[in-house]
Structure 1
Amino acid sequence: MTYGAETWTHTKKVVHRLKVAQRAMERAMLGLSLLNKVPNVEIRNRTGITDIVQRAAALKWNWAGQICRREDGRWSRVNLDWQPRTGHRSIGRPPARWRDDIVKAVGKNWMQLTSNRPRWRANEEALVQQWTEIG
């Protein structure tokens, strides 16, 4: 389920879909249907599986740190620094960008923060907690 999760823009819609899919899979593993009316907390205790949203957020956080520490000019790093030629975005509510939730959790200087690995890893919990509460 988390293939490519490092590159996802985590929106409320994506988080909700992940949680619904995980709950459905856990119910199928236990042989339960919605008619059994077993609470999600009980199902999670029985399966012992980690939350998919936490896993996806942690993968994204670790990948962001790796990308920012690269110095070899790969496309992934170049795309982080890229700005559109016009400098303008379309009218209306701007779509969520990949880096928006990282900026929200840590601040605008998140790229400089990645060079200090212990401090970067300490801030991982803030991002993971942010997306766990939303869904």
Structure 2
Amino acid sequence: MFLIAFALVMDEVTGDIQCDISWCMLFADDVVLVDESKAGVNRKLELWRRTLDLGGQVVAQKDIFRYLGSMLQKDGDIDEDVRHRISAGWLKWRQASGVLCDKRVPQKLKGKFYMTAIRPAMLYGVECWPTKRRHVQKLSVVEMRMLRWFCGHTRRDRVWNEVIRERVGVASIEEKLTQHQLRWFGDVQRRPSEAPVRSGVLKRGDKIKRDRGRPKLTWDESVKRDLKDWDISEEVALDRSAWRLAINVTES
């Protein structure tokens, strides 16, 4: 918690000097400023000095905060984090477009490249997501667009998604997301009850009066829903080798 608060302060006091990587890089307690000239670096330092002179007026309230590559929302939802992961996936796609769009490269090899370099960027941090159906749908739409693109097809060609996946040897991103979450669920449940990671799991109280409307989805409820949808018991989920066979993922 103290590290998050410190990172929030650092993010705020460097707001006037932040640029794209690698012109400005923020670490836990360090800031790296890069410019094309010494005068440019001095100008950024002067802007930072003026911000620090504000004293107690540094920290402002934020509804969205970026921490360790994830987007944290004040309302506890993950919409911004999903959009951020999708943007990260497209960034990796553009960087690798020379390979993925080359017709001389076999489609199976493109699929392996996608699984190694692009999909991990889209699934970073999904282990802790309280995932809703619309979030999975967004990720699935983006993935199929990528797969169709490097196969040379569009939706107008009327090629089934299953055919595209078979050509490139890629399982659905929904299966991989479930695999990530169940693996993390098993890791958490195998830890002793006094472990810090166990205390960080939010659960809904039984005798707490809540506001009107549908309650917020928690990670624990999201995992239980996945276990039910895949017909997997909690005992199987705790056994890593057993649940890998249970969900029958079609790729490594």
TM normalised by structure 1 equals 0.70
Aligned residue among 184, 189, 198 for 1:68 = 189
Could you tell me which runs of 5 or more consecutive residues in structure 1 were left unpaired when the two chains were aligned: 130-135
Q: 1:89 aligns with which of 201, 210, 214?
A: 210
Match of 2:152 among 10, 21, 31: 31
Q: Percent identity?
A: 25
1:69-128 residue CA offsets vs partner (Å, 9 max, x unmatched) = 223632x311226667x933332111221111333436xx95xx48x943x7545677x5
* Conserved? CA contact 2:187–2:238, under 8 Å: no
Kept in 2: contact 1:9–1:96 (CA 8 A): yes
Q: Is the 8 A contact 1:61 1:124 kept in 2?
A: no
Letter in 2 for 1:11: K
- TM-aligned CA deviation for residue 60 of structure 1: 0.3
In the TM superposition, what is the alpha-carbon distance from 1:38 to its structure 2 partner?
1.7
Per mean C-alpha deviation after superposition, the further-off stretch among 95-104 and 14-23 is 95-104
Compared CA separation, residues 81 and 99, structure 1 to 2 (3 A): closer
Equivalent position amino acid for 1:29 in 2: F
User: In the aligned structure 2, how far is the partner of 1:82 from the partner of 1:44?
Assistant: 37
Q: CA deviation at 1:51?
A: 1.1
The answer to whether the aligner puts 1:8 opposite 2:129 as a matched pair is yes
The structure with the greater share of residues assigned to helix is 1
In 1, Cα distance between the equivalents of 2:219 and 2:204? 14
Root-mean-square deviation (CA, aligned residues, Å) is 3.0
Could you tell me which amino acid in structure 2 is paired with residue 62 of structure 1?
Answer: R
- Which protein is bigger by CA-based radius of gyration? 2
Structure 1 pair 35–117 and aligned structure 2 pair: CA distance change class (3 A): closer
* Stretches of structure 2 lacking an aligned partner (at least 5 in a row): 1-121
Cα 1:34–1:81 change in 2 (3 A) is closer
Change (3 A) 1:54 1:102: same
Kept in 2, the 8 Å contact 1:7–1:60? The answer is yes
The structure with the largest strand share of the pair is 2
> Separation in 2 of the partners of 1:32 and 1:25?
10
Say if 1:68 and 1:77, in contact at 8 Å, map to a contact too: yes
1:31 & 1:12 partners in 2: Cα distance? 28
Consecutive aligned runs of 4 or more in structure 1 exceeding 4 Å deviation: 81-84, 123-126
1:43 aligns with 2:164: yes
